[in-house]
Amino acid sequence: MNKHFILFIIVFLVNCFVGINAENDYYIVAILRNSTDGYYDDESISYQKTLDKFINDKMNDIYTIIDNNKESYILKNGMLDKKLDELDNINLKKRHNNINQKILFINERRSNYHLMDHPSSNSKKKVKKSLNIDYIPFESNIVRHLCPINNYIAIVVYLSEKTKEKICNLDYVLYCEKDYELTEEGVINWEEEEEKEEKYDINDNNNNNNNNNNKKLNKKSLSSSSSSSTEIYYDIEAIKKETKWKNVSVQSYKFKGYPNYLALISQSPNLKKGKTFDENFYYPSSAGYGIDIYFIDSGIIVNHDKYDTYKGTSYERNITCDALTENDKIRATITSEEKIKCVIEGIKTVGYPDHGIGVTSVAGGKLLGVAKKANLHMIASKLSYVLHIDSLDFILKNAIPHKTVINISRGSTGYSAAAENKINELVRKGFIIIVSANNNSVNCCQKKPFHYYPGHSGTISVGAIDTSLFNNEYQSSYYTNFGNCVDIFAPGNATEPNLGYYKKDYIKIYGTSFAAPLVAGVAATIMSENPNIEFDQELMRKTLIDLSIKDKIKGLGSKDTPNRLLNNGKKIVFSPDCYKNKFDCDISYNTSTTKTKRKL
């Protein structure tokens, strides 16, 4: 069976704390044994074992440097930094007097316990006693594994100014970089007035015309291609012809006052004068089925009908919390409760992952999402580069290349070589990575003064537009970043379901955080409709660009910003005003004839 994976990571913005304070801090330390080394995971077991030993030895050396320079960790209040308390661990102290004793820095994702295997006693070869090292397995909070990146190994080290100087200048250290704090990139309007959902219906317009009687249908969407009802204004056969979708589903989506981003991405803005905007969402019935979308975000609460796994149907899907943050590391969830609900600490809405809910719902919610049948996987990650790289590594080890889309919705005013390299590594391995252009209203493609994710090579980057249509054009959102590295724009206005925290049923949200999950959702539906195509980053970028609507966004921040609007393949416009003569309102969108000069 053909299995497809979409990976999806949220947009975070990195705060830049430019070396103001000289506090002790976590750093990513890149250790390179030999520039001719290959990528760890691709190498033989014996190669990995020798590399494990090399890395563990260097981590021991680094630990010793920290131990010998404890005094440099004394804080302004005269106290020794609490993080160094572990140096007093009795077991570790033993090694001071014994050069044959070393710490085994436990590596959970790529086990290195083999280092403790002593040469077998029945071996013919005489092994000198002095070669036997006593390993003390230990999980340190000041020196620990992160993951392999390209041909080097990234570890995390807690450094003072003095140890930074010493350690970062060791000949096997490729670079050191500070772990930046990240922030969420969306606004959730939870204070707004209560609004009621009007109604919604989903009509699977299958080939089988009489298949609809078990569904509650909106009058206007009561339809099948051969029906003669006068109230049907859209034409399923025309949609099939245009999109090549196998089956077409139509969702009539009517939330008064809420942004209708779903309708927007399934039709062109070429509305005839005086006609009413079509608010339906048209999508391929495969709807991402069999595709996994991964999110790195604040968490998820999955046992809720706003997601729906369609239990017992032929298109039942998985929605799970796969991994969470514990002790500043990403670990797989174990208990069944953990797999249903995960929430990071330290968010505004304590115990309620509202950003994660918004993002997952836009990508794959039953009601408010694009890929309604895709599997949704949450990695609840706290806001730091280290944890995001750790999350990427978790995905790398648990998902399938060439069948995976990753949406990174984080920006970085602090540049991370480790994050960039890890992203490039995943792209090379066949994963598709989509990143948010972020919401600083700047050209994010220049490397200076700040370095934003979209500027990183290899990613598909997404900017935001507002959902209101003016004279058949959309306005780029005031907050969105722009520049020639932004591949595509998508609606930044979205709607989030309340899963228990807010007073009202739905909440308005906006930000580039919500433009990217739309792109990930469309990518998932493209993949579920084309199960035999092996998508990679470049093919997906090309497909999204080919499908996009050109030159319909005004107010882009620079002339070189590509004017492309996300579209799922359906561009024909149907207006509810036209149901008596449906073809009167069809406007077949032809990209090669509608190019107009961009106004800035």
Ligand X SMILES: *C1O[C@H](CO)[C@@H](O)[C@H](O)[C@H]1NC(C)=O
List residues near ligand X by CB under 6 A: 10-11, 13, 34, 36, 183, 185-187, 206-208, 211, 246-247, 259, 285, 290, 297, 317-318, 359, 375, 407, 409, 434-436, 439, 461-462, 466-467, 477-479, 493, 508, 510-517, 519, 590, 592-593
Identity of the residue, 24 or 268, whose beta carbon is nearer to ligand X in the bound complex: 268
Q: Are 518 and 362 in contact (CB under 8 A)?
A: yes
CA distance 432 to 410: 16
Helix 516-529 to helix 537-547 angle (10° resolution) is 100
Is the bond preceding residue 449 a cis peptide, omega within 30 degrees?
Answer: yes
- Closest of 382, 275, 265, 270 to residue 326, by C-alpha: 382
Nearest distance from C-beta of residue 149 to ligand X, angstroms: 18
Which H helix or E strand runs over 467?
Answer: strand 460-470
Which of 43/584 has CB closer to ligand X?
43
Report the residue number whose CB is nearest to ligand X.
516
Q: In which region does residue 327 sit, left (phi positive, over 0), alpha (psi from -120 to 50) or beta (all else)?
A: left
- What's the min distance (Å) between Cβ of 315 and ligand X? 7
Rounded least distance, CB 233 to ligand X, Å: 21
CB of 285 to ligand X, least distance (A): 6
Closest separation between CB of residue 62 and ligand X, Å?
A: 19
Alpha carbon of 261 to those of 295, 408, 593: distances in Å?
Answer: 20, 20, 25
Determine which one of 286, 513, 528, 548 is catalytic: 513
β-partners of residue 405 are: 432
Nearer to ligand X, 27 or 294 (CB): 294
Element (H, E) at 597: none
- The rounded distance, in Å, linking the Cα atoms of 518 and 490 is 7
| CB 144, min distance to ligand X, A | 25
Strand-pairing partners, residue 154, are: 30, 147
What is the smallest separation between the CB atom of 589 and ligand X, expressed in angstroms? 9
Upper half-sphere CA count for residue 5 (Cβ side, 13 Å): 19
CB of 368 to ligand X, least distance (A): 13
Phi, psi of 300 (to 5 degrees): -160, 155
Minimum CB distance to ligand X smaller for 59 or for 290: 290
Residues with Cβ within 8 Å of 352's Cβ and at least 6 positions away in sequence, in order, are 301, 343, 499, 500, 501
Which tokens hold the place of 592?
């090669």
355 counts as catalytic: yes
**Contacting residues for 398 by C-beta, under 8 A, at least 6 apart:** 322
* Residue 194: HSE in the Cβ half-sphere, 13 Å Cα cutoff: 5
Cross-strand pairs, 295: 378
Q: Whose CA is closest to 587, among 466, 472, 469?
A: 472
Please pick, among 4, 145, 355, 451, the residue that the annotation labels catalytic.
Answer: 355
Per the CB < 8 A criterion, the answer to whether 343 and 380 are in contact is yes
Whole-angstrom distance, CA of residue 482 vs CA of residue 84: 44
The number of angstroms, rounded, from the C-alpha of 369 to the middle of its chain's C-alpha atoms is 15
* Residue 297: active-site member: yes
Half-sphere exposure of 165 (CA within 13 A, CB side): 5
What does the block give as tokens for 370?
């694009």
Q: How far is the CB of 312 from ligand X (least distance, A)?
A: 13
Of residues 1 and 99, the one with the C-beta less far from ligand X: 1
Nearer CB in complex with ligand X: 503/595: 595
**For ligand X, the closer CB: 225 or 247:** 247
Distance CA 456, CA 32 (A): 22
DSSP letters for 437-459: --SSSSBTTS-SS---GGGSTT-
Minimum distance from residue 28 beta carbon to ligand X (Å) = 22
Q: Considering the candidates 52, 179, 297, 390, report the single residue annotated as catalytic.
A: 297
Beta-carbon contacts of residue 524 (< 8 Å; ≥ 6 apart): 4, 6, 288, 291, 293, 363, 364, 370, 371, 374, 405
- What length does the chain have? 600
In the chain, what is the greatest distance between 2 CA atoms, to the nearest angstrom? 93
| CB 230 to ligand X: min, Å | 25
Residue 200, phi then psi, degrees to nearest 5: -150, 155
Tokens 């694009």 belong to 370
Q: Which is nearer to ligand X, 31 or 66 (CB)?
A: 31
As annotated, the active-site residues are: 297, 355, 513
